[in-house]
Structures are given as structure tokens and as C-alpha cells.
Amino acid sequence: MSSVLKNQKILLGITGGIAAYKAAYLVRLFKKSGAEVQVVMTPSAHDFCTPLTLATLSQRPVLTKFVKDDTGIWNHHVDLALWADLIVIAPATANTLSKMAYGQCDNLLMAIYFSAKCPVWVAPAMDLDMYRHPTFLESLQRIENHGVKVIPAENGFLASGLEGEGRMAEPEHIVALLEAELGIKPLSGKKVLITAGPTYEAIDPVRFIGNHSTGLMGFELAKMALKMGAQVSLITGPSTLQLSHDQLELIRVQSAVDMQQAVMARYADMDIAIASAAVADYRPAEMAVEKIKKTSDSFTIELVKNPDILAEMGKQKTRQYLVGFALETQNEIFYATQKLKNKNLDLIVLNSLRDEGAGFGTQTNKVTLIETSGEHTELPLLSKEKVAYDIFQKVLTHLS
């Protein structure tokens, strides 16, 4: 697949933070995408990575100073700003972001930034308390008001030994975000079916059997597929979430039987199907026509098994790339792998309720991606948007 970054001139600014070690991989990904890369380092960035490494990978001399040598030849910041189609500052420290916000121009990178007419992106990186500090947040808001685009920091282990938000976005996430924003559509022409949310199995007109799923993971998957150019059918159980797009068919259902009918009516026409819904395994054998009155100290409901929608999708699979989800509380890898095989899936996304910040009702998730080859990819705690991105990267690898 060709990249929208091909032939783009990217000026990569590297500032003095420990996350500067990731810059080498970011340069490599930009070059792999076909971009021209010019690295500009602040003086303190030299403490964290060597210009030799970055010059070798970018195939251009790394620039730091205004003056090249004793002859007086200089690195013209205006020319560099005009050369760039895109400026990316990664990592962007609190110090650099403050300079950008308040007009302090004391190094070559800042002179280029203040001369720039092209889009500018920053990837902040700092410890979690710095990332939450009101002064930093004010700087961030100021540069956003000036038109700078911010690549949010991620959750993870930090140099301080703490764990939380502030970690620079991973290089592959930066590249994917830029590609998506600049217009690459790797799923253009593809049809994607996604199930989301819980199902409600009615006991009577008032009560139901359900679970804690909000549908957020499925909605983030749908957003990511739409961003990548797909035509999406999102079949969701009861959820307060909203989504609209001219490439989206949104189908709202209540019960597992409703969801089964909606899925199977569309499945044969799909290229990709992702079953992230938390479908109830059982439903009441009969639904009472009227509200059941509280008349005794105990009450028994007979349950019958719901249709296994994912298993049926696996049986009827022809060309579809089929992704399932598993939520386990013990022997997680074993049970998820069994589900992968028994239901004829191509990929299974394993959630574990053992991990803080994962599971139902959270903005984040921590998952392991298991493929039919047996390969496991354990992801750190990420936003559900970034989990959706990683899932689709596996899908794209298969499609390519």
C-alpha cells in the first residue's frame, strides 16, 4: 500500500527528553513511507540520542546550530521552514511547548517553527504530573489556538518509574495519525461489519437480563474503520453512544436474537467482521406479558441458550477476515485460543478483568491480540481509540 506521506518533506524536530530515543524509529517509519526527512535537534536533545544515528537513517545531516562552520555559512531557518511540507516535533517537552506558546525563540528549531507556513504537529512527552500541570495545559491550549495540532500522549511506564499519561505516542501511532489526517484511506472500498454493546434479554416489559458493556469499544472500532475509508455497518445493542457518517449504517437492536438477524442479513457481503458486542449467553424461556409482581420471597426464571452469533459467522465464513473478542477471568490465553480455533476466527482480542483500567465502562483497555499462527501481541494500557487502531493494523497486514 502506498502512503500519503510519499514525497512529503517532513522536518522532524527533536527536543531534550528521554523519549528522544524513539525518534530513530520515527525517522525510519517516515523514510519507509517514502518521505524526505530533515532532522533538527535542540542542543539538549544531543544528551539523549546521537546525530550520527539520525543522520544515517534520514540520509541528511542533522541540524542544531544556526552557523554551520567557521566560514560563517549558516542554516537558514526561513529556507528550512519553506522547504517543509510538514513539521513534526517529537518528543515535544514542556520547555519547548512553553517557548512555542509564548514566543521564546532561542534555538534553530524555534526559529524554524516561528517561520513556518506548513502544518505543525507536536507529540508531548513528560512525566504524568507535568502533563497535568495547569501551566503546561495552558501552553498546550495556546498553541492549539495558534493552529498547532497535538498528538496526545499515551498511558504507560514513564522514565520516573511511575505509570500513567505523559508517554510520547508510539512512532507507528504518530505515522498512522498523520496518514489518516492527510487523507490515506487504506480500507477504501472495503465493507466492515462491527457489533457493539450489550444485549438486553427481556424478563417482562420492565426488567431484563443484561451486562455492563457501554459499546464504547465497538464505536471506536467503527470510527477507526470510517477514518480509514471503509463502508461500515455498526450493529449495536442498547447504548447511549451516537455516531453518524455518510459511510455508516447504524442498526440498533435489543436482544441477541435481534442482533443475530441483523448480522446474518449483512454478513455475506462483508470483507471484515469484528464482533465486539457482549452478547448474553442466555435469555428467559418466556417473557411475561405484564410486569411480574413481587409476591414471594424467591423467584425462579428458566433460561435457554441464545444463538452463538460468532460461531455462526465462523461457520459461514468465506472470504471475510473475522475478529472476535474474549473476556476471561482465569486461564485467559488458553480459553481465548480455544475460542479462536473453535469458532474459526482469524484474530481474537483478549480482555482481562485482572487489569486496572480495562474492561467495561472505561475509556482505556489492555488487550492481547492472538492470531491463528499462535502469535501473541500484548498491548499496554491504551485508549480504546488506539486499541481500535492496533486491531486494524493486524487486519491491514492480512489484507496486504
Model pLDDT for residues 235-280, shown as the tens digit of each residue: 999 999 999 999 999 999 999 999 999 999 999 999 999 999 999 9
Q: Tell me the C-alpha distance between 33 and 5, whole Å.
A: 6
Q: Tell me the C-alpha distance between 237 and 233, whole Å.
A: 13
Catalytic residue among 75, 95, 211, 344: 211
Q: Tell me the C-alpha distance between 325 and 294, whole Å.
A: 37
pLDDT at position 319, please?
A: 94
User: Could you give the 3-state DSSP secondary structure of residue 122?
Assistant: strand
Q: Tell me the C-alpha distance between 101 and 146, whole Å.
A: 8
Band the pLDDT of 34: cuts 50, 70, 90.
very high
Q: Tell me the C-alpha distance between 75 and 64, whole Å.
A: 9
pLDDT digits (tens, 9 = 90+) for 4-13: 888 899 999 9
Cis peptide before 61 (omega within 30 of 0): no
Q: Tell me the C-alpha distance between 342 and 378, whole Å.
A: 22
Q: How many CB atoms lie within 10 A of CB 301?
A: 15
* pLDDT exceeds 90 at position 179: no
* pLDDT exceeds 80 at position 353: no
* pLDDT exceeds 80 at position 358: no
pLDDT at position 355, please?
A: 67
pLDDT at position 1, please?
A: 45
Mean pLDDT score, 59-65 = 94
Comparison of pLDDT for 158 and 75, the residue scoring more: 75
Mean pLDDT estimate for the chain: 91
pLDDT at position 361, please?
A: 66
* pLDDT exceeds 70 at position 142: yes
* pLDDT exceeds 50 at position 200: yes
* pLDDT exceeds 70 at position 359: no
Q: Is 211 designated active site? A: yes
Give the type of residue at 115.
S
State phi, psi for 203 to the nearest 5 degrees: -95, -45
pTM, two decimal places: 0.64
